[in-house]
Amino acid sequence: MAREAEASRILIFGGTGYIGKHMVRASVSLGHPTCIYARPAGPATQPSNLNLRREFHSIGVHIIEGELEEHEKIVAALKKVDIVISALAYPQVLDQLKIIDAIIAAGNIKRFVPSDFGCEEDKIKALPPFEEFLEKKRKIRRAIEAAGIPFTFVTANCFATYFVDVLLHPHDPSDEIVVYGNGEVKAVLNYEEDIGKYTIKVANDPRACNRVVTYRPEPSIISQHQLISLWEEKTGRSFKRVYVPEEDLVKFSQTLPPPENIPVSILHSIFVKGDLMSYEIIEDDLEASRMYAEMQLTTVDQVLDIFLTDPPEPARAAFV
């Protein structure tokens, strides 16, 4: 397609992280010269991270090692690229202000996609621990807008593999599965590789400049009960559903110490309040599966097949 004919030079912050690595692979596969800005490798660097760096080297990714405090180094890196994507984790959300400062100084960036992969924070209000996190993301959005930086804000909703593990605990031999709320609320579970591909596409798409793009393909919309029933069909097992009512999640959000109060607040937002599906996507809104109807997606059903044949290692979100 014409809009993707010219390859852009892309720099990714957080490229060795949970979702960032999928963006790096997608960027390379779509033909973009790709580099990442990563902390220097050292004795404390995990073997999985070192293996990822070796993989990236082998596919032509340029790795720039540095800290987010190294302003001049970041500015120099930015001057050699066209597009910046941040996939920094929760503890580093406000550190993106340093990236914004560097983008302003460099003066050449055509698009910035901040680390905004989750719910649409400008359309929901959550329990206080999660709301505090969303407010940090809003601060980044407003800073980008105020600086006049061309942007694309992404609402990627749930990472499918991560949340299948959280909800079903496929590695656990237990015959019980916890259900949050009544189990009927619909959520949006998008496969991580698809999120990576969508993100590279929207970052290069003129239609997405200074717009919010939501990733809400129909096959990704599912309730907890539907997910559990699918898993029962595939495994031939029957699970006892243990319900955690809304009032318990609210209480946990008030009584658990930080950061343990954040995950329960997120579960409340997604699976009790139904925040991901609480607003309509109208004709003028940008939704990724409508923009790229030709892209073949991995359905929730297929994600469950992955857990049966080649189960991924459980991942945990970093909140500190």
Of 121, 146, 123, 117, the closest CA to residue 133 belongs to 121
Distance CA 155, CA 250 (A): 25
Which residue out of 21, 136, 137, 197 is catalytically annotated? 137
Distance CA 79, CA 71 (A): 12
Distance CA 242, CA 96 (A): 40
Query: What are 207's two structure tokens?
Result: 């239609």
Query: What are 84's two structure tokens?
Result: 């910046």
Q: Is 137 a catalytic residue?
A: yes
What letter would DSSP give residue 269? Answer: I
101-108: list long-range contacts, CB under 8 Å, 24+ apart: 101/71, 102/71, 102/74, 102/75, 102/78, 103/78, 103/147, 103/149, 104/147, 104/149, 105/71, 105/75, 106/75, 106/78, 106/79, 108/78, 108/79, 108/82
The residues pairing with 213 across neighbouring beta strands, listed in sequence order, are: 154, 286
CA separation (Å) from 297 to 28, 64, 204? 18, 31, 19
Query: Phi, psi (5° rounding) for residue 155?
Result: -110, 95
Per the CB < 8 A criterion, the answer to whether 286 and 212 are in contact is yes
**Amino acid letter, 265:** S
Per the CB < 8 A criterion, the answer to whether 125 and 131 are in contact is yes
Q: Is 276 helix (H, G, I), strand (E, B) or coil?
A: helix
What letter would DSSP give residue 314? Answer: P
Q: So which residues are the catalytic ones?
A: 137
